[in-house]
Amino acid sequence: MQFLDQPPRFLFFTGKGGVGKTSIACASAVRLADAGRKVLLVSTDPASNVGQVFGVAIGNQVTPIEQVPGLQALEIDPQAAAQAYRDRLVGPVRGVLPDAVVKGIEEQLSGACTTEIAAFDEFTALLADDASTAGFDHIVFDTAPTGHTIRLLQLPGAWSGFLETGKGDASCLGPLAGLERHRSQYRAALDALSDPRRTRLVLVARAQGAALRELARTHDELAAAGLHNAFVVVNGLMAAADTAGDALAAAIHQREQAALQAMPQALRALPQDRLALKAIDLVGVAALRNLLDGASPDPAAPLPAGAQPPRAPHPLSALVDGIAADGAGLVMLMGKGGVGKTTMAAAIAVALARRGLDVHLSTSDPAAHLDETLLGALPQLRVSRIDPHAETERYRQHVLETKGAALDAQGRALLEEDLRSPCTEEIAVFQAFSRIIREAGTRFVVMDTAPTGHTLLLLDATGSYHREILRQTGDKGLRATTPLMRLQDPRHTKVLIVTLAETTPVLEAAALQAELRRAGIEPWAWVVNQSLAAAGTSAPLLQRRAAAEQPQIEQVRRLSAARLAVVAQQLAEPVGLQRLAALTEIDHGELPR
């Protein structure tokens, strides 16, 4: 493994969701610890599953992994970090200021901006070589899916620059109040990230065209932020020897080889490792040690006669029928990165549009590219993307033209300075999200959301806005309709949780469902995507994986109250209008190519 050759102190694993970066980060931490190093494994993903991989409850405190001497782990919990951050700021004034004032401060500190700042504060402390990390030889970061990771790694520079020029007096004065004293910590973090002797980026991908193109964009953005020491790991490759004359296995192998041949030049120039597809879920220390051993895939003898899993009888078309019956509404696809939310959202949108319904397909995923999935247009289908940069600029201009119009030169300069805060992006994205929610009253809006953790931060912003409206209006707020109220209304919103029939994605999807229910949002249905059990296969390696799906599908059936679709792994990559239409198993007639 080249990416583990003479590793520096900090190792960052990032990439598109679902490519296996958590497994590879965990396996790397185990290998370093087995070599006698003291290792801290840190997850910065708001929807971390490191604890699930090791079978240990980790959370927001450094926890030893008993099976691996020398290895400890930490999951940065954004909510716990935010609460601790609020307590530090509000504690000194509680009992000193009037209760109403304290309550107002707490509300100001309740949004997604505070959550991000608090998690960022913990993240930079780990890079600053303080006493809490002095005893570790290596700190291995398992990061959130790509879009959120880019933002996290760019934040030290953004906050440092913002603090150096002072802060304004509007959008996030409350959350920023605790940052000033940590200015040197952020500068130290930025220095560590940009020093190739101290930091290495490991860019993880599957051999899929979209994943590799996104990885190239990630590389370019991180290089622009000053992070240059990068390695590439292509994970989960199907070996030719394991296709065993099976059409599905052969198709997977051919698609992967074609994607590798078309790998962007920016990635070709980097050191590269390749890992074989395994027959089992990568859960537990033994499986993690096997992941990086460089051997061929696990032996996979044919299953006994009759053990081949049956094809799952849960077509996506049945869910589309239920959605179409309402005539309009918001359909939100949520789930772990890499489970195929974009594909499922596009397939549902295409199916609804082909029925003559007015459909707006949009995405809040910073790393999503719907055009690469659709490869075409339909008369009834409008496509958009919440672009954080474009929305932030629109919001800045609107504030300057309204609030800034009556200010003198000094006041306008202060306002412009405040609008350069990274908090501004959260506000702008939330406003764009709210506009799209309102639009669903007259047409179908199908929303492809960001990977789970980022989506929960967006919903947190929605909840914060809801609470602020009710606080400001009192009883009158009962007549107001906030975005959260629309999301909670099953007549207006249908949330579909997308997962894979594997242990970790199902566990994370179950946790997402619990989070949604705590916010008063009841998921409408579940979709199990890329199922080998539904596709059927004779390749021994894939048969083993298909057999392992059955208990996971049964678990989803219990969690979803039987409103479930199982979508088979496809012979051809499901891109383009024809292939997307085929996923709904309806005869659509001829579609534009």
Residues catalogued as catalytic:
18, 20-23, 45, 504
In 3D, which of 245, 246, 240 has the Cα closest to residue 297? 240
Q: Does the CA dihedral 523-524-530-535 come out positive or negative?
A: positive
* Whether the Cβ atoms of residue 334 and residue 498 lie closer than 8 Å to each other: yes
Whole-number Å distance between alpha carbons of 566 and 472:
45
* Whether the Cβ atoms of residue 280 and residue 548 lie closer than 8 Å to each other: yes
Whole-number Å distance between alpha carbons of 473 and 480:
9
Whole-number Å distance between alpha carbons of 517 and 412:
43
Six-digit token string for 218: 């990630």
| E-strand stretches of 481-570 | 493-500, 525-531, 564-568
What single DSSP character describes residue 228?
A: -
Whole-number Å distance between alpha carbons of 237 and 275:
6
Residues near 101 by beta carbon (within 8 Å), at least 6 away in sequence: 93
What's the order of all strands across the beta sheet hosting 564-568?
Answer: 381-383, 359-363, 444-448, 329-334, 493-500, 525-531, 564-568
Please count the other Cβ atoms lying within 10 Å of the Cβ belonging to residue 324.
Answer: 16
State phi, psi for 496 to the nearest 5 degrees. -110, 125
Please count the other Cβ atoms lying within 10 Å of the Cβ belonging to residue 438.
Answer: 13
Whole-number Å distance between alpha carbons of 270 and 205:
13
Residue 463, judged by CB atoms within 10 A of its CB (0-12, 13-18, 19+), counts as: buried
Q: Residue 274 pairs with which residues in a beta bridge? A: 234
